[in-house]
Structure 1
Amino acid sequence: MGLKVLVVDDSSFFRRRVSEIINGHPQLEVIDVAVNGKEAVEKAASLKPDVITMDIEMPVMDGITAVKKIMAANPTPILMFSSLTHDGAKATLEALDAGALDFLPKKFEDIAKNKDEAVALLQNRVVEIARKRRFMRRPAPSAAPIRTASSALTEDAKPAPVARQVGFRASGKKYQLTAIGTSTGGPVALQKVLTALPAHYPHPILLIQHMPATFTSAFAARLNTLCKIQVCEAQDGDALKPGVAYLAPGGKQMMVDGRSGSARVRIIDGGDRMNYKPCVDVTFASAAKVYQDKVLSMVLTGMGADGRDGAKLLKNAGSTVWAQDEASCVVYGMPQAVAKAGISSEDLPLERISERILVELGMK
């Protein structure tokens, strides 16, 4: 038997459509469906699926409440389906905060060029987040190993057990910009990192999260209410200011223009040839050109390899590149691409990235 999937939606048409797509993948099998959140909670407990797809708005019990109950009793990778509206975006972000791992719009055509691409997108997302299931029931380690450039592990090597927390030391480099790129699992990861930063953070922060346009405005607003620093959706012409994080708008490309002391944000369409809008590579490349060796950059959880080429340009310019480690990623795609290419100098567990940033900047 392949990976077992529970499909939850109050629409019979959507349940059937999603089930057909999932069953079309050789590794996936829909073992049952549920028509509301209450049924989802019950069937998650009895059937123990590998993945659950979950609607947000349903009768009897909504998807957010169901996610909270499932994660409390039977932690399971959950993929949310959302409408591309402001309210839908806010609800989806709440579901991710409650423990869901990823989301897709209910109208697949909004994020895919054709039917085949939409089918492959859904199937691949389900397969990828299913791999996280084995970590969800495992107690968190007391301390995670930190890979540095001088202690990089080989492909087949296994890290030795760590008896205590590894202390961090500042490299002594000087920075003028922080840049963070991420995708699947990124909203929760960014929230964890950014909420730990102080209001007097010494330079601007660029955030590139693969996300639809409606979601980026809602996500920036949510982060701004939770963080001590200011967070905004970037606008064309914004002057980069210390203590402010600029989130790349969905459907556009964010670049840096000007000189390091007086740089501004450029928001452009980017054309149809780009696979990602926003694209981490585009922003990182422009940051490397303007700030050269003064960028503290990191690639967090996400599917694919976006960020690898831009990170290489940053490293070649003398800037610092870190990657999130595999154990703490929802999908170890983007960070793995950077680590395998030998670009990242450190691979860090999510729960210690903010600490590492503050140590590096001499703030802790």
Structure 2
Amino acid sequence: MAIKVLVVDDSSFFRRRVSEIVNNSPDLEVVGVATNGQEAVTMAKKLNPQVITMDIEMPVMDGITAVRKIMADNPTPILMFSSLTHDGAKATLDALEAGALDFLPKRFEDIATNKADAIALLQQRIKALGHRRVFRTPRAGSASRETVTPTDTSRPTSSLRTARTSVTDKVANKTAPGAVKTTIRASGKKYKILLIGTSTGGPVALQNILTKFPADYPHPILLIQHMPAAFTPAFSSRLNGLCKISVKEAKTGDVLRPGCAYLAPGGMQLLLEKMGASSRLKVIAGNEDMNYKPSVDITFASASKIYGGDVLAVVLTGMGADGREGARMLKARGATIWAQDEASCVVYGMPQAVASAGISSLSIPLDDMAQAIIKESARG
């Protein structure tokens, strides 16, 4: 059965274009179009779509307000369309925090250089979101929180408002079927750096984790998030304002220091290089043939050469398998690799890639990840 899609945009041209792309896939069907956020709220209740594509700037009611109302009254996976500007980035991050699960640039030439690839990616993203069911985000003052559950073998995510799905300090190792929850205990291993790689669902997941870190977190942190170049300055600035640790967009020549997180710039590749007794960052354009800029694989591989086994690397929610080969290189040098568990992911692609390959040693729920990292990173 085709996934039902509601298309929301005040531009008749864009509504028509998105509808054509959606209906061109036998697995997708546009069941309605809305010209503003208020119409979207009403039609979401009436049509019960499985996915909503949502513009941000619209008359009557903007997209962010509409996301909040839909997630409170008729929860539905929402894909935002955004302009690749600083203001567009801030608005998109607001929409994700309000409950939207994913975003794409509004200009199709910004999605991919090839038109066919852009169309395929949009269809793929909608299909990925269409296989999950989202539960209500309560209004302010409610004691309960939003949860998300799967309708197939793909598992969706929690946002910052997601209900805790596990007991504190419990993790489920889903590398093997039927694995049971086990209490996490610090291994006693000493580390020099923390690496975190993620894609779809990553902005909310990173915010969930990093806002729980203490100001004196003992290691530098590298963040590799698949994100457009226009978004990473706004995202790093937002995290820096919310977190006790420092967060900045990485720049060539940055000397790594404890308690600071460096976000890989969108559209570039992030490498490490040795500088005497310390390490510094190098940001390069990289190979044009690379699917991801930044690439988790490239940064992980670079870290394996500099730090060997003194690395704790975590792979969070995301589509595809970026990070698997870099994590394999790290593990071969003795590094510790963890993955986000299936149930708390927006898309279980990247964590599944490292878990099913036997590279990660633990699969940990998002809401338990920060405490697990803090315990494992503690110096003896």
| TM-score class, shorter | over 0.9
Distance 1:21-1:49 versus aligned 2 partners, 3 A rule = same
Question: Which position in structure 2 is the counterpart of 1:304?
Answer: 320
> Where do 5+ consecutive residues of structure 1 fail to align?
none
Whichever residue aligns with residue 257 of structure 1, its letter is E
The answer to whether the 8 Å contact 1:260/1:291 transfers is no
Aligned to 1:306, the other structure's residue is in SS state coil
C-alpha displacement of 1:181: 0.2
CA distance in 2, matches of 1:96, 1:331: 15
Aligned to 2:60, the other structure's residue is in SS state coil
CA distance in 1, matches of 2:49, 2:179: 30
C-alpha displacement of 1:195: 0.3
Whichever residue aligns with residue 168 of structure 1, its letter is I
Distance 1:285-1:45 versus aligned 2 partners, 3 A rule = same
CA distance in 2, matches of 1:361, 1:272: 36
Question: Which position in structure 1 is the counterpart of 2:176?
Answer: 153
Q: How many correspondences in the alignment? A: 355
The answer to whether the 8 Å contact 1:176/1:260 transfers is no
1:177 to 193, 198, 223: 193
CA distance in 2, matches of 1:259, 1:313: 22
CA distance in 1, matches of 2:267, 2:56: 23
The answer to whether the 8 Å contact 1:259/1:290 transfers is no
1:341 has 2:357 as partner? yes
For 1:226-241, what aligned pairs fall within 5 Å after superposition? Answer: 226-241=242-257
Question: Which position in structure 2 is the counterpart of 1:18?
Answer: 18
1:216 has 2:241 as partner? no
Larger displacement relative to structure 2 (258-267 or 79-88): 258-267
Aligned to 1:327, the other structure's residue is in SS state helix
The answer to whether the 8 Å contact 1:308/1:334 transfers is yes
Aligned to 1:133, the other structure's residue is in SS state strand
C-alpha displacement of 1:362: 2.9
C-alpha displacement of 1:358: 1.2
Question: Which position in structure 1 is the counterpart of 2:334?
Answer: 318
Question: Which position in structure 2 is the counterpart of 1:277?
Answer: 293
CA distance in 2, matches of 1:108, 1:274: 19
CA distance in 1, matches of 2:379, 2:192: 14
Question: Which position in structure 1 is the counterpart of 2:116?
Answer: 116
CA distance in 2, matches of 1:10, 1:196: 39
The answer to whether the 8 Å contact 2:78/2:100 transfers is yes
The answer to whether the 8 Å contact 1:179/1:295 transfers is yes
Larger displacement relative to structure 2 (234-243 or 135-144): 135-144
Aligned to 2:39, the other structure's residue is in SS state helix
Q: Deviations over 1:63-105 (max 9, x none)?
A: 0000001111111100000000000000000000000000000
The answer to whether the 8 Å contact 2:318/2:351 transfers is yes
C-alpha displacement of 1:113: 2.0
1:40 has 2:40 as partner? yes
C-alpha displacement of 1:142: 4.8
C-alpha displacement of 1:45: 1.1
Aligned to 2:183, the other structure's residue is in SS state coil
1:225 to 241, 256, 275: 241
Whichever residue aligns with residue 318 of structure 1, its letter is G
Q: Deviations over 1:12-34 (max 9, x none)?
A: 00000000001111110000000
Distance 1:142-1:305 versus aligned 2 partners, 3 A rule = closer
Question: Which position in structure 2 is the counterpart of 1:93?
Answer: 93
Query: What is the TM-score when the length of structure 2 is the normalising length?
Result: 0.90
CA distance in 2, matches of 1:134, 1:13: 30
Q: Deviations over 1:218-254 (max 9, x none)?
A: 1000000000000000001100011100000001000
Query: What is the TM-score when the length of structure 1 is the normalising length?
Result: 0.94
C-alpha displacement of 1:137: 5.5
1:193 has 2:209 as partner? yes
CA distance in 1, matches of 2:148, 2:195: 32
Question: Which position in structure 1 is the counterpart of 2:61?
Answer: 61
CA distance in 1, matches of 2:60, 2:282: 46
The answer to whether the 8 Å contact 2:218/2:378 transfers is no
For 1:280-295, what aligned pairs fall within 5 Å after superposition? Answer: 280-295=296-311
Q: Deviations over 1:255-313 (max 9, x none)?
A: 01005841000000002111100000000000010000111100000000000000000
CA distance in 2, matches of 1:73, 1:134: 11
Aligned to 2:278, the other structure's residue is in SS state coil
CA distance in 1, matches of 2:259, 2:338: 20
1:9 has 2:4 as partner? no
Question: Which position in structure 1 is the counterpart of 2:375?
Answer: 359
- Residue identity over aligned pairs, in percent, reads 64
The answer to whether the 8 Å contact 2:76/2:134 transfers is no
